[in-house]
Structure 1
Amino acid sequence: MTALASALLNPRRIALVGASADPARLTARAQIYLRKHGFDGALYPVNPRAATVLGETSYASIADIPGPVDLAYLLLGTEHVEGVIADVAAKGIPVAAILADGFAEAGPEGQARQARLLATARAAGVRILGPNSMGLINLNSRTACSVNAALEAESLPAGRLALVSQSGSMLGAIMARGAARGLGFSHLISTGNEADLTASEIAGLLVDDPQVDAILLFLEAIRRADLLAEAARRAHAAGKPIIAYKLGRSAFGAELANSHTGALAGSDAAADAFFRAHGIARVTMIEALLEAPALFIGRRPLAAPKRAVSVMTTTGGGGAMAVDALGVAGIETRAPNETAVEGLKAAGLPHHGRMIDVTLAGTRADKVQAALSALASDPDTDLALSVIGSSAQFRPHDAVAGILGAARAGLAKPVAAFLVPQADVSLRMLGEAGIPAFRTPESCADVIRAFLDWRAPAPVQEASAIPHALPVRPDEADARRLFAALGLESGFAVMAGPADLPEGLRFPVALKILSPDLAHKTEVGGVALGIPDAAALRAEAEAMAARVASRAPGARITGFLVQPMAKGLAEAILGFRRDPETGPMVLVGAGGVMAELHRDTALRCAPVGIEQARAMIAEVKGLLPLSGWRGLPRGDLEALARAIVAASRLAALPEVAEAEINPLIIHAEGQGVTVADAWVVRA
């Protein structure tokens, strides 16, 4: 374990700077909770106005503390934090956790305050947890160094799940929810604003901790995506799943996450693509974050999931709820195949239909175990789910005995349970046995969907350098030259003015205004199609110049672009974006003027290889007809895949923030693609 990991994850000598002698105050809680929950290390309250604090010797300053200190928890007001960091550094304390808010989340003044704080800490080699951090908890070492009120609980079950949360209040909420079902945690760490230490870096430290089997992340934003990607790869190698719950799926959620943590929120689709690329499982329900580990721990991502499950139930209505929720999540409940049917017949159990209802056959443990064993033998499904009715509440030992027996038998696939009533004892028994158990059909479907979506980290693609200079304010001609440098060249010519007609034009042509200020030229009358000859081209250029000057008087006009008219089988949108959270992304979708409306797209971390590009194309419904669907003509999807790979190489050009081809015209198989319109934005 590194010195940082030791000081942060398992501190044994803790300074509580600003600890209050009044037990009713928030700043007294850390000391109270540490002692209440059995911390047997050294505590050093720092309070210049008291000789003792809550029965322990107090120190007037950090410098007065005898010997080394692993961690300083600063329980000070915002205005006092900056001045104390220098004292922390002088003492040689490696990590300072900061409770106070009023930093990056509080606007420009707070952002400046946080920048000064971080500069001082970095110059002295001090790592910062927070600001706005509710501290850290190591339950195996009984270290409850936090002010979270959830620590008022009389006992806190220790375990092997680690939670890193950017929200301090959720730290306690998740711990309390876990305790209610017998789940224990190894670590719970609140990262707050993440001025320095991020959830990404801490996840990497937890990968190496022998007390941790799985890492849970509660995220409002992704910071240091590079460190999270590295942690995820090492976690996969170590067999430790990383499971994330991330806010920001809606515009409103992203806005709140931004205001809460002072983060710059990226797109949720980019976060999804990032998690998928790096082998991080994502759940969408907070209940699922607690229920997922039992399904993931000890297992690897499925190489070729069937996206189908077998369901047996002792309650028709409860089973139907599970089947319905799974279907909404895109998971089929499949009728048993011949092998499973034979096993069900041998046990004297029903064997028809998508859902095997064993209610009338009795719910004896041997029957349930036999049913699950038969269903687990089905090669066409990924998981066997048992849905249990009232017996789970009133006869817990009988209700789960068959499931426990099936799990102990070492079946070929996972077994899980959805308990329809409130059945805490049954949930606890299943949890202690490491069997996934769900309270609601929605969380059941969410966890199973996350498991089937889970992939091993994708191979790292290296983007080769692009020897191309991009102007400070590029227009479409500059964008086309950039894409041509990537191998996506389509013929065009530039006119400086209406009278500057290029030679050798192949009519009919399209004419477009050139301006670095106009991303959507059609809206200002800056596009004309099907121009038949030179005279019409000159006249249209004069009319277009007048229209654009009238409708966009502030736009800088750099000329006109002329290109031959092209027609293909379909249009695609091909885009690149440097996401503020997750980094370079490449996108493909159904293109044209309706692209923004339909949102029929696939997204990946850039750069991508040809196989990833093909997979992206297969995800876009609007491109399905080009595969020869129902006898339609085949489009050149291989040329489109090569174009995706080419555009993804923009990851190697840091001056490009965004770039787009829309539409990219797709011709018949073997005839390539044509760039119809292009755009690029400098970083």
Structure 2
Amino acid sequence: MNALAPALLNPRRIALVGASADPTRLTARAQVYLRRHGFDGALYPVNPRAETVLGERAYPTLADVPGPVDLAYLLLGTEHVEGAIADVAAKGIPVAAILADGFAEAGPEGQARQARLLATARAAGVRILGPNSMGLINLNARTACSVNAALEAESLPAGRLALVSQSGSMLGAIMARGAARGLGFSHLISTGNEADLTASEIAGLLVDDPQVDAILLFLEAIRRADLLAEAARRAHAAGKPIIAFKLGRSSFGAELANSHTGALAGSDAAADAFFRANGIARVTMIEALLEAPALFIGRKPLAAPKRAVSVMTTTGGGGAMAVDALGVAGIETRAPDAVAVEGLKAAGLPHHGRMIDVTLAGTRADKVKAALSALSADPHTDLALSVIGSSAQFRPADAVAGILGAAQAGLGKPVAAFLVPQADVSLRMLGEAGIPAFRTPESCADAIRAFLDWQAPRAVPEAPAVAHALPARPDEADARRLFGALGLETGIAVMATPEAVPEGLRYPVALKILSPDLAHKTEVGGVALNIADAAALKLAAREMLARVAARAPDATITGFLVQPMAKGLAEAILGFRRDPESGPVVLVGAGGVMAELHRDTALRCAPVGLEEARAMIAEVKGLKPLAGWRGLPKGDLEALAAAIVAVARLAAVQEVSEAEINPLIVHAEGQGVTVADAWVVRG
């Protein structure tokens, strides 16, 4: 195990710097909670104004603490933290957790303060948890080194789920919600601003911990995507699922993530692509973050999910809610096939329709077990779901007995339950048995959707180097040359002035202004089409130069680009972006001026291979006609897939932050594609 892991995950000698002797103060909580919940290691309160703190000997400085220390929790005001880190370094303490805020999230002054703090720590080999960290909890070791008020609880159930949260307050909220349904945690760690230690790196440590079966992440931003990808791949090999809940699905959420922790937020679509590529399951509801692990633990991603489930219910309305929520999530509730029907008939149960309503028979354990066994035999579904009505609340033992029996029978397919009433005892019984149990139809659908979307980490294709020099301020001609180096050659000519018309052009042609400042040329009159001959080209160039100079007087003009007119079956957009969180991504969508409006796109981590590129094309509704939909002529989808692979190779060109081809004209099958417009941005 990594040498950092014992000090961070299971510290036995803890210094509480700034510990208060007043038990009502926030800075006293860590000591109170550590002792209340049974920590039997060494505690060293550091307080220069007290000989004892809450009944334990205090020390005036860290230097006065005898012997080595695993972890220092700094409970000091922001202005005192930098000096304390120097003391931590001098003492040789490997890890310091910092409670105070006022660092990267607090603007330029806070960012500078955090940078100084980190420089001091790194020079001495000290690792920092935080700032803005509510600490860490190891429930199996009874180490509650945190100020989170949820630790006021008299007892904390230990378990085998680990949670890493960038939000300190959510640490306690998730722990409390889990305890209410019998779910225990091994570790709960608050990473705060992640000046040094990130959720990504800590997830990697938890993969190697034998007390951990699954790792849950509450993320506001992805930092150190490389470390998270590595952790996820090792977790997959170890059979330990990583399940993430990430904020930032809306622009407002991304903005808050930035202001809260000083993160640089990337796009949510890129985060989705990153999770999928690296075998991380993503839920979108906080309830599902708690409820999903039982569905994942002990299982591998399905190689070919049917995206269909079987549903049996004791309540028609409750079952319909589940079916509806699943349908919204893109999961079909399927009527039983012939094999399942025979099993249901043999048990004397209903067997018609998309949802099997067993009504009062659902209160009998033998009938529930028989129904779930029959439905699990259906080869066309991925999961059997039991929806339970009032009996879950008033007769919990009877209500869940059949589900427990079916799950223990080893049916070869997950069995789960949605409890319609507020049924805490039933939820706890199912949770303690490791059976996925859901409190709402929406969280039920979200967890099942996440399970069916879950994939093994993909094999990352090679990204060979691209031998091409890009100017400091590239225009479209420079972008075309770059794409040409990637294998997307386009027959273009460049005119330095309106009079410098090249020989041998194939008319009619399109003319465009060249400028590193103009990404959208049509908006300033910088595009002219269907120019018939050389004389018309000279005139069009003169007029264009005058228009652009009037509409964009500050733009640097570097010349004109000329290319033959081209017409195909459809237009696509191809884009590349170096996402600040997730790294390089490639996008394909229906192209042209409406691309931004329709948002009909598919996105993957770059680079990609041909199979992945083909799958991207299949996801874009606007490109489906090119597959010969309803007898329409087929487009050259293989050439489009090759173009996606080519653009994705920009992952190896570090100076490129963004690039785009829009539109890319797709011709008939076997006739290739044509780059109609291109753009590149240096990082």
Q: TM-score, normalised by structure 1?
A: 1.00
Structure 2 residue 598 is the aligned partner of structure 1 residue 573: no
What SS does the corresponding residue of 1:107 show, helix, strand or coil?
A: helix
Distance in 2 between residues matched to 1:408 and 1:59, nearest whole Å: 55
Report the CA distance between 1:75 and its aligned residue: 0.4
Structure 2 residue 357 is the aligned partner of structure 1 residue 379: no
**1:525 aligned residue:** 525
Distance in 2 between residues matched to 1:317 and 1:517, nearest whole Å: 59
Report sequence identity in percent.
90
What SS does the corresponding residue of 1:217 show, helix, strand or coil?
A: strand
Distance in 2 between residues matched to 1:622 and 1:483, nearest whole Å: 24
**2:480 aligned residue:** 480
The one-letter amino acid paired with 1:323 is V
Report the CA distance between 1:462 and its aligned residue: 2.1
The one-letter amino acid paired with 1:121 is A
**1:335 aligned residue:** 335
**1:244 aligned residue:** 244
Report the CA distance between 1:362 and its aligned residue: 5.0
What value does the CA root-mean-square deviation take over the aligned residues?
Answer: 0.6
Q: How do 1:146-545 residues align onto structure 2 when only pairs under 5 Å count?
A: 146-361=146-361, 363-545=363-545
Paired residue total = 683
**1:586 aligned residue:** 586
Report the CA distance between 1:532 and its aligned residue: 1.1
**2:645 aligned residue:** 645
Distance in 1 between residues matched to 2:186 and 2:350, nearest whole Å: 44
Structure 2 residue 94 is the aligned partner of structure 1 residue 80: no
What SS does the corresponding residue of 1:196 show, helix, strand or coil?
A: coil
Distance in 2 between residues matched to 1:537 and 1:662, nearest whole Å: 23
**Larger deviation, residues 264-273 vs 358-367:** 358-367
**1:601 aligned residue:** 601
Distance in 2 between residues matched to 1:224 and 1:149, nearest whole Å: 30
**1:106 aligned residue:** 106
**1:61 aligned residue:** 61
Distance in 2 between residues matched to 1:468 and 1:509, nearest whole Å: 27
Distance in 1 between residues matched to 2:162 and 2:361, nearest whole Å: 42
Distance in 2 between residues matched to 1:524 and 1:647, nearest whole Å: 27
The one-letter amino acid paired with 1:489 is E
What SS does the corresponding residue of 2:24 show, helix, strand or coil?
A: coil
What SS does the corresponding residue of 1:504 show, helix, strand or coil?
A: coil
Distance in 1 between residues matched to 2:4 and 2:112, nearest whole Å: 26
Structure 2 residue 683 is the aligned partner of structure 1 residue 680: no
Distance in 2 between residues matched to 1:135 and 1:367, nearest whole Å: 48
Q: Is the 8 A contact 2:661 2:676 kept in 1?
A: yes
Runs of 4+ with >4 A deviation: none
Report the CA distance between 1:534 and its aligned residue: 1.2
Structure 2 residue 610 is the aligned partner of structure 1 residue 610: yes
**1:633 aligned residue:** 633
Distance in 2 between residues matched to 1:558 and 1:326, nearest whole Å: 55
Distance in 2 between residues matched to 1:610 and 1:77, nearest whole Å: 55
Q: Which digits, 9 at most, give the CA deviation of each residue in 1:534-566, with x for residues without a partner? A: 111111111111111111111000000000000
**1:556 aligned residue:** 556
Structure 1: which 5+ runs fail to align? none
Q: Is the 8 A contact 2:313 2:362 kept in 1?
A: no
The one-letter amino acid paired with 1:23 is P
Q: Which digits, 9 at most, give the CA deviation of each residue in 1:130-175, with x for residues without a partner? A: 0000000000000000000000000000000000000000001101
Report the CA distance between 1:2 and its aligned residue: 2.4
Q: Which digits, 9 at most, give the CA deviation of each residue in 1:307-361, with x for residues without a partner? A: 0000000000000000000000000000000000000011111100000000054
Q: Which digits, 9 at most, give the CA deviation of each residue in 1:97-150, with x for residues without a partner? A: 000000000000000000000000000000000000000000000000000000
Q: Which digits, 9 at most, give the CA deviation of each residue in 1:38-65, with x for residues without a partner? A: 0000000000010000000000100000
Distance in 2 between residues matched to 1:211 and 1:662, nearest whole Å: 51
Structure 2 residue 25 is the aligned partner of structure 1 residue 25: yes
Distance in 2 between residues matched to 1:677 and 1:374, nearest whole Å: 57
Q: Which digits, 9 at most, give the CA deviation of each residue in 1:365-397, with x for residues without a partner? A: 111110000000000000000000000000101
**2:661 aligned residue:** 661
Report the CA distance between 1:24 and its aligned residue: 1.0
Distance in 2 between residues matched to 1:365 and 1:65, nearest whole Å: 61
Distance in 2 between residues matched to 1:458 and 1:599, nearest whole Å: 25
The one-letter amino acid paired with 1:24 is T
What SS does the corresponding residue of 2:230 show, helix, strand or coil?
A: helix
Report the CA distance between 1:461 and its aligned residue: 1.7
What SS does the corresponding residue of 1:79 show, helix, strand or coil?
A: helix
Q: Is the 8 A contact 2:7 2:94 kept in 1?
A: yes
**2:670 aligned residue:** 670
Q: Which digits, 9 at most, give the CA deviation of each residue in 1:281-332, with x for residues without a partner? A: 0000000000000000000000000000000000000000000000000000
Distance in 2 between residues matched to 1:502 and 1:362, nearest whole Å: 82
The one-letter amino acid paired with 1:254 is A
What SS does the corresponding residue of 2:22 show, helix, strand or coil?
A: coil
What SS does the corresponding residue of 2:359 show, helix, strand or coil?
A: coil
The one-letter amino acid paired with 2:175 is M
Structure 2: which 5+ runs fail to align? none
**Larger deviation, residues 361-370 vs 177-186:** 361-370
Q: Which digits, 9 at most, give the CA deviation of each residue in 1:217-257, with x for residues without a partner? A: 00000000000000000000000000000000000001011
